[in-house]
Structure 1
């Protein structure tokens, strides 16, 4: 298994120019022909933020201080996560002609989707930092931990992306199942509310969701100016590493029949 992982990483490195080209192409074509173009990178999360900021404090009687920023710093990484899974699930099938015609490490297809959405998240920080400062949040040196938290989320998303993209080639209902699961997952992650609203026993169970320490980590370094909870993040990192290893194994096993199944 170790040899397989090393070989995969080496292949990705060898084809890094192809990966960069696909990501660049996806970024350029995502909003091509639309009136607002690249601005949709900012408009979509801002619209969601506006709706959630109005609806959820009313429904939940939420008195969270600076609720729009409490929500915003969690919503953007969640969008990165879910759009990565949704896009990566169909990535191999969507590039069936390419898969059948030339050789390249197929793992680049789901990887490119996750990378594209990572870049979109980074672009989103262009409005996150000014918004935090505008609402009176003081940024501290702990914001330097942001890349670490983002990397853990990236690894976790990549692992799931590999599994889903490989299985979707055979099981086309998976796309619809994932849409439902991510919707449920959203409400099991403290994005629109703090985990403290739950009874302690329920909060403990929800805490096993690996996205909880990741989302809390984003809030810690961006909103509260604190260092992340490393004990909790270590759990998410272990889950992320296990997931990406399983992802490579599942992808390797299914990749052999991609051409036939497509």
Structure 2
């Protein structure tokens, strides 16, 4: 494992190059370009707020803030899983031409999406300032930790699904469908207290539940996140990353033949 980490570190310049290319190419052909980084989640928030505040009333106070603090982290995770599943397949030519540790591909893709999320968080803080909702500076100190935990979780799943997609191409499309269902099974549009007690246990099997709860505790409830929530999220993220690395390393040997 240590030798693998050293090898990946030796290819850090390649990772940086792939990250830059991903960020530059994301909205390259569009008129508004990088502005879509901020406009996409903003439009999502507007639509969901209208639907759940005026049509299907959720009854959650300051619903737009509640929604936004969960939606932006979810967008990062959802893209890392659904679109990230093709990050190896999309680099077919590169894989066939030169040798490099294949783990570089999911690492660079998830990292680029993570940077995109960090930029999008500017919109959250602007919204908190404009609405005078306020923040808790002490609770805010825990935000980087929660972000790192989510990054680890997203990276682990991306490693897993991107490796399997090489052998089962339909997985990319299946994940697109599952991703939508996964979002509704995560307390983003509703509070966990709104879920009947007999069904709450199902949310505990969702690795994104403690992550989203931590974001909500920090930015919406303006409280220091519960240690139990952080530990649950951290342990789940670490386990999934470990599994992702093992699976990726085992199946990556035949990438060239399969591609």
**Deviation for aligned residue 1:205:** 2.5
Q: Distance in 2 between matches of 1:8 and 1:230?
A: 32
Partner of 2:92: 96
Q: Distance in 2 between matches of 1:87 and 1:23?
A: 15
Cα pair 1:163 1:250 within 8 Å, conserved: yes
Residue by residue, what CA displacement relative to the aligned partner does 1:221-261 show, whole Å, maximum 9, x if unpaired?
11222111220221121111111111111111111100100
Aligned residue runs from structure 1 range 105-254, under 5 A: 105-140=101-136, 141-254=138-251
SS at match of 2:205: coil
Cα pair 2:51 2:57 within 8 Å, conserved: no
- 1:178–1:220 Cα change, 3 Å: same
Unmatched 5+ stretches in structure 2: none
Q: Distance in 1 between matches of 2:10 and 2:226?
A: 36
Name the TM-score, length of structure 2 as normaliser.
0.96
C-alpha RMSD of matched pairs (Å): 1.2
SS at match of 2:83: helix
2:83 matched to 1:87? Answer: yes
**Deviation for aligned residue 1:59:** 4.8
Q: Distance in 1 between matches of 2:56 and 2:99?
A: 53
Q: Distance in 2 between matches of 1:41 and 1:99?
A: 29
2:38 matched to 1:42? Answer: yes
Cα pair 1:156 1:241 within 8 Å, conserved: yes
Cα pair 1:87 1:113 within 8 Å, conserved: no
Q: Distance in 2 between matches of 1:59 and 1:194?
A: 18
